[in-house]
Chain A
Amino acid sequence: SAVISQKPSRDICQRGTSLTIQCQVDSQVTMMFWYRQQPGQSLTLIATANQGSEATYESGFVIDKFPISRPNLTFSTLTVSNMSPEDSSIYLCSFGQGASQYFGPGTRLLVL
């Protein structure tokens, strides 16, 4: 399968600021996804990002808080805006290949 990377791997941010997480796949993929994993919890889908269209957000997640870009078939970004301590989580991107999904290494975010 393709290789997927994320940057940064971790960050500590102040409340009220924003952080942009980058996700890079080493081959072209149609579907990319962004998940959040809060401490001690399972993964929750934030949005689906397909190239050439607006991201589709899940219930409870809005574009103003989590704007997503998908400029081409190998790259996507997720911004966590106006952060609060409740945004402290691991953020993971994934891509679909066939019916399987493969995940990046995650970005561990701590908001103070």
Chain B
Amino acid sequence: AQTVTQSQPEMSVQEAETVTLSCTYDTSESDYYLFWYKQPPSRQMILVIRQEAYKQQNATENRFSVNFQKAAKSFSLKISDSQLGDAAMYFCASLHRSSNYKLTFGKGTLLTVNP
């Protein structure tokens, strides 16, 4: 079974600074995808970034980038130039074709952005 672990229940960052959220996962397969989702107080789940396991290049989306270390099964999210609107719960998730595209989520990291 696939597992996703987020070891940081809470993180904080100063506005305009950079923060990195950690995620590790466990899989024995080669074909999978990794995601970071953001859940603000509105509770809407927003897809932040996606990484295909077969791609060596780290995904980036504007101020959001990942550090994908396949051998170490690590998938961290870096948020640059943090903004107050980045404050949210962040969930790391994995998806495997062999599991019919089901998402497996970590427990989440609550990010606070301080003005």
Contacts and interface: CB of A to CB of B under 8 A. Distances in A.
Interface residues of B, number: 22
Given A43-B91, A100-B35, A101-B95, A48 B47 contact: no
A31 B105 contact: no
A65 B78 CA distance: 40
Interface residues of A, number: 23
B16 interface: no
Contacts of B47: 100-103
Nearest to B103: A101
Interface in A87-112: 90, 92, 94, 96, 99-103, 105-106, 108
Binding site of B, secondary structure by majority: helix, strand, loop or mixed?
strand
Interface-centre pick from B100, B106, B107 (highest chain A CB count, 10 A) = B100
Nearest to A56: B100
The interface residues of chain A, by DSSP majority, are classed as: strand
Contacts of A42: 91, 105-108
Interface string B34-62: 01010000111111001010000000000
Contacts of A37: 43
Interface of A: 31, 33, 37, 41-45, 48, 56, 58, 90, 92, 94, 96, 99-103, 105-106, 108
Contact of A106 (B37, B44, B103, B108): B44
Given A99-B50, A99-B52, A100-B50, A105 B101 contact: no
Nearest to A96: B101
25 contacts: A31-B101, A37-B43, A42-B91, A42-B107, A43-B45, A45-B102, A48-B102, A92-B45, A96-B101, A99-B33, A99-B52, A99-B97, A99-B101, A100-B33, A100-B47, A100-B50, A101-B47, A101-B103, A103-B37, A103-B44, A103-B45, A103-B47, A105-B44, A106-B45, A108-B43
